[in-house]
Amino acid sequence: MAFAGVSLIVDGKLCVSTKSVINSGADTGYHLLVVEGYLRTRETTPNGESIESRPFIVGGRRWIIGYSPNGDSSDNEEFISLELALEDDIEQGVEFQYVFSFIDQPELRVPKHIRQSQPVYLDVDEFLYTQSEFMNREVFERSRHLKDDSFVIRCDLVVHKSAADHKEQGTTTLPFTELPQSDLPSHLGDLLLSKEGADVTFEVDGKAFAAHRWMLAARSTVFKEQLFDAMNVGTATSSVVKVVDIKANVFQCLLTFIYTDGIPKFEIEDTEENDTEEDWLLQLLEAADRYGLQRLKSICEEKLTELICKDTVADIIVVAERNRCLWLKHSCLEFVKTSTNLHTVFTADGLEQIIRTCRPSVLKELLSKFAS
């Protein structure tokens, strides 16, 4: 897609230097909305009001993005709202497809995904299309999208040619040629399964896993140091590596992520000890931290936040503290805060585990949640 400019919001206002109009010169384009000082925008922009981006042109039409940190109406004040608005005097309706995403969500910006989004038609007397509940504000503030009080939203926009004719005739012109999705993860996953060219074997919990040094080194600095750096200083590196303190099914999932950048769906029959999904994710999170796989660690954190309950919170908070997962720990503490009685959330063993393994500050945070 063609670049259609960037808008910078600082201290709750659009930066003056980004107010000029940018023309993508194409029927498809994307615009970036950069917000620095999110808390400031939340404090200074009341519910029902928005901060507008600079204008940008895609498909020969002039557009702006509206950002409402406290929702665009009283019905959705707990949400962040986004709106895509026409800002021109052309007396002709327009049909378009769009996707709002955070800059760290590339999977939402593939052509196939955008073209499958619901087409929107605006008549000449209309000018605004609103996504009122883009994201729950509390969830957003705990998410990985907010970094250093800043975030970036990308709007991918496809404007259909001859929109008025399309409405009358019921036909559509494809906005762009659909490109196939990347098959690289599939090919690399097949390579892992076939073991072709494998030059290192890991012995894990009584099972052997064949892999490729170059792939492991490219994805993990820990593996790189373990498998290559020793060779560079003249130390022999064995083709068989023993791994302790990781279960076989967890290590298998770790390798799958390294080769494909994804993790398989949890299946209880794949676990020898009938571990729960929570147990599996906690073990995978610790393995990800051990081998420096930050993206895998973040995936596990996000999935674990959905599993927090009175039966799991003690185990999760211990692992979150041990592996420096601040967002996950905060989510556990917020859950505890909503509980009315300590013994309904933690068993004696759970509290003992927290006291034994966590820093005193964690217990202090925990108790302060009950006091608040």
pLDDT tens digits along 281-337: 999 999 999 999 999 999 999 899 889 888 888 889 889 988 988 888 888 877 877
Residue 258's identity, in one-letter code, is I
Lowest mean pLDDT among 59-68, 244-253, 293-302, 306-315: 306-315
Query: How many residues does the structure list for the chain?
Result: 372
Q: What share of the chain is helix, strand, coil (3-state, %, to 5)?
A: 40, 25, 35
Give the tokens for residue 66: 């509206």
Q: Would you state the pLDDT for residue 238?
A: 72
pLDDT of the residue at 103: 83
Top pLDDT among 323 and 107 is at: 323
Question: Does the pLDDT value for residue 255 go beyond 60?
Answer: yes
Residues linked to residue 152 through DSSP beta bridges, in sequence order: 34
Vertex 245: Cα angle to 241 and 251 (nearest 5): 65
Handedness of CA 305, 306, 308, 311 (dihedral sign): negative
Residue 168 has pLDDT above 50, yes or no: no
Q: What's the average model confidence in pLDDT over 261-270?
A: 78
Residue for token digits 């936040």?
305
Q: Supply the mean pLDDT for the chain.
A: 80
Q: What is the pLDDT of residue 174?
A: 45
Range with lowest mean pLDDT among 177-181, 234-238, 264-268: 177-181
Q: Which residues, in sequence order, are bridge partners of residue 22?
A: 56
Greater pLDDT, 295 or 179: 295
* The pLDDT value given to residue 247: 93
pTM: 0.51
By CB neighbour count within 10 A (0-12 exposed, 13-18 middle, 19+ buried), where does 320 fall?
A: buried
Q: What is the SS3 assignment for 345?
A: helix
Is residue 188 over pLDDT 60? Answer: yes
pLDDT of residue 96: 87
Q: Is pLDDT at 267 greater than 70 in this prediction? A: yes
pLDDT of residue 122 exceeding 80, the answer is no
Q: Residues near 288 by Cβ (< 8 Å), separated by ≥ 6?
A: 254, 257, 294, 296, 297, 300
The CA-to-CA distance between both ends of the chain, in Å, stands at: 49
pLDDT at 180: 57
